[in-house]
Amino acid sequence: MKGPSAMDRATRLDALIVGAGFAGLYMLHKLRGMGFAARVVEAASGVGGTWYWNRYPGARCDVESMFYCYQFDDELSQEWEWTERYPAQPEILRYANHVADRFDLWPDIRLNTRVISAVYDETAAEWQVETDTGENFLSSHCIMATGCLSAANRPDFPGLDEFAGRVFHTGHWPHESVDFDGRRVGVVGTGSSAVQAIPEIAKEAARLTVFQRTASYVVPAKNRPLDPGEQADIKARYPEIRAAARKTFGGFAVPTGRESALSVSEEECRQVLERAWNHGGIGLLNSYIDFGIDEAANERAQAFVRDKIRETVEDPETAEKLLPRHTIGCKRLSLGDAYYATYNLPNVELVPLGEDGIGRIVADGLTAAGKDYRLDDLVLATGFDAMTGALARIDIRGRNGLALRKAWAAGPRMYLGLMTNGFPNLFTVTGPGSPSVLSNMMPTIEHHVEWIAACLGFLRDNGIREIEPGLAAQDAWVAHGNEVASRTLRYTCSSWYLGANVPGKPRVFMPYIGGMPSYMKKCAAVAAAGYEGFELTPA
């Protein structure tokens, strides 16, 4: 508990929301509409969350525009016009700002304000929230809308601080334009961010060297301008399309095959994959039901993409280095229209990292795989401390002063990805244990926001001062999540889903992989049964 001085002039709230991304914006709108005193606190100088920070060249969402948007307001759905099949970062940011304008959210958003700590006062049943500007809050409820991919993973490469050139992280890109013209640029990482950035940087840089730890599977996005007629048609059919999407595993409106890839001939499987490849998008892995659960089926998709790489990349040696060998879809599939072809450019070189990874960094370059590379700029496309990173960076303390970092030392433990035992009245939007990053984030966010809002309404109507998941329900949910994950191939490689990209992070499969329909059914049933599995303390 904080001393009286820190909290003396604290603002009293019903709900303090951390983060002004799509989760925080809708949470604020929803709670205000229910008459709650709510406020958003945001570290950035603008709204948009992930899309505020990820401004690297080529940054684009890999979910289609028409489905990467809010559903809660019909007028908003109809009035907003997207320009391309996949939205580029500036357009998504404009959309976030439009939403903040349209629903007059600005007066209740504190920008440039970072939450440092959130400490639960058991006597008063309220959260004491301290920020770096000195503006503090006392709030009955605290809602962490801090994002799944918001805490940058910045590896501790030896000598990084000695590098004399510019260092960028894709997830913390500068706001002013970055000119790579005539420069020798090194990119570390070949995940989704790098796959988008590399073709753009290659257009400017004198020399681009890509340092690859693990080769990625990249399928075409087939991005293109959106035809106005097509857009109008989708908008007219939004209710049915969205209802159908809600019945799918990830809440995506993509066609899903019903057969096993092994039930058809190799030739037929290739033809189906070829059609999916030409159509573009992450739907390729939905062509058959067993790419995600059967290694032999998965190998057919792997071989298909490896052949595409060999066809595209002219230099056989480079092509060979680019061939991924792991299970496809185990790590997040990347989308990109120009990625592999970029390696045909004379100014682009691929360097597979050996076991030792990036060696020493010096003032004018680095050593990797036993060779020295002279560099002017270094781009770290090294991803995020996913799902738990943003929460761990805030000093969150629950009952008896227990730190969340300590409670989760062996991995996150949440009931439904919404709340955690020992931390009453603290909610997370798309937390570990919810489908989150395995689903279409926008409807997933809306689902959580609406569940939390309904829960706060229930607590108010029933005079309940505290809600907290019981340990038994939480343990059962975590065990269920692990059990479902262990039956899939996603469990089998070193992905950020498992925390494997961050040294020292416990290996726990963090998102819930049981699919959106069963997850939403469970959340609804829990609420309908008076918040079954939660402990409720009356005022």
- Pairwise CA distance, residues 403 & 397, whole Å: 4
Kind and range of the H or E run holding 218: strand 218-219
State the nearest-atom distance from the C-beta of 493 to ligand NA7, in Å.
9
State the nearest-atom distance from the C-beta of 381 to ligand NA7, in Å.
5
State the nearest-atom distance from the C-beta of 501 to ligand NA7, in Å.
4
| Residue among 76 and 178 whose Cβ is closer to ligand NA7 | 178
State the nearest-atom distance from the C-beta of 373 to ligand NA7, in Å.
14
- Pairwise CA distance, residues 312 & 323, whole Å: 12
Question: How wide is the angle at C-alpha 520 spanned by C-alphas 515 and 523, nearest 5°?
Answer: 125
Q: Choose, by CB under 6 A, the member of 496, 512, 519, 534 that binds ligand NA7.
A: 496
Q: Which stretch binds ligand NA7 (CB under 6 A): 183-191, 361-369, 452-460, 470-478?
A: 183-191
Q: Choose, by CB under 6 A, the member of 501, 505, 509, 516 that binds ligand NA7.
A: 501
Contact of 207 with 233, CB cutoff 8 Å: no
| Residue among 188 and 464 whose Cβ is closer to ligand NA7 | 188
Residues 372-401, interacting with ligand NA7 (CB under 6 A): 381-384
- Pairwise CA distance, residues 271 & 251, whole Å: 26
State the nearest-atom distance from the C-beta of 14 to ligand NA7, in Å.
33
Q: Which stretch binds ligand NA7 (CB under 6 A): 105-113, 261-269, 353-361, 398-406?
A: 353-361
Residue 474's nearest CA partner among 512, 417, 525 is 417
Strand, helix or coil at 398? coil
For 191-218, b/e burial (b = at least 16 CB within 10 A) is: bbbbbbbbbbbbebbebbbbbbbbbbbb
CB atoms within 10 A of CB 398: 22
| Residue among 326 and 397 whose Cβ is closer to ligand NA7 | 326
Q: Which stretch binds ligand NA7 (CB under 6 A): 276-284, 292-300, 351-359, 401-409?
A: 351-359
Residues 328-347, interacting with ligand NA7 (CB under 6 A): 331-332
State the nearest-atom distance from the C-beta of 309 to ligand NA7, in Å.
16
**Paired tokens of 356:** 């030792």
Q: Choose, by CB under 6 A, the member of 6, 44, 155, 405 that binds ligand NA7.
A: 155
| Residue among 456 and 485 whose Cβ is closer to ligand NA7 | 485
Find the largest Cα–Cα distance for the chain: 73
Cα dihedral 161/166/172/176 (nearest 10)? 150
- Comparing every residue's Cβ against ligand NA7, the nearest one is 191
Q: Which stretch binds ligand NA7 (CB under 6 A): 1-9, 187-195, 297-305, 413-421?
A: 187-195
| Residue among 388 and 501 whose Cβ is closer to ligand NA7 | 501
| Residue among 262 and 353 whose Cβ is closer to ligand NA7 | 353
Q: Choose, by CB under 6 A, the member of 214, 231, 347, 367 that binds ligand NA7.
A: 214
- Side-chain-facing half-sphere of 512: CA atoms under 13 Å: 29
Sign of CA dihedral 423, 145, 61, 501: negative
Contact of 27 with 17, CB cutoff 8 Å: yes
State the nearest-atom distance from the C-beta of 325 to ligand NA7, in Å.
12
Distances (CA, A) of 395 to 18, 38, 305, 406, 411: 13, 21, 44, 10, 16
213 binds ligand NA7, rule: CB under 6 A: yes
State the nearest-atom distance from the C-beta of 413 to ligand NA7, in Å.
23
Distance between start and end Cα atoms, the chain: 20
- Side-chain-facing half-sphere of 390: CA atoms under 13 Å: 27
| Residue among 155 and 470 whose Cβ is closer to ligand NA7 | 155
- For ligand NA7, what does the binding mask look like between residues 188 and 207, x meaning CB under 6 A? xxxxxxx-------------
182 binds ligand NA7, rule: CB under 6 A: no
170 binds ligand NA7, rule: CB under 6 A: yes
Strands (E) in 29-103, as ranges, are 38-41
| Residue among 105 and 194 whose Cβ is closer to ligand NA7 | 194
Region at 383 (left for phi over 0; alpha for psi -120 to 50; beta for the rest): left
Q: Which stretch binds ligand NA7 (CB under 6 A): 79-87, 186-194, 293-301, 359-367?
A: 186-194
Write the single-letter amino acid at 194: A
State the nearest-atom distance from the C-beta of 85 to ligand NA7, in Å.
17
Contact of 178 with 410, CB cutoff 8 Å: no
| Burial class of residue 225, CB neighbours in 10 A (0-12, 13-18, 19+) | exposed
| Burial class of residue 5, CB neighbours in 10 A (0-12, 13-18, 19+) | exposed
Binding residues for ligand NA7, total number by CB under 6 A: 23
Residues in touch with ligand NA7 (CB under 6 A): 149, 155, 170, 188-194, 213-214, 331-332, 353, 357-358, 381-384, 496, 501
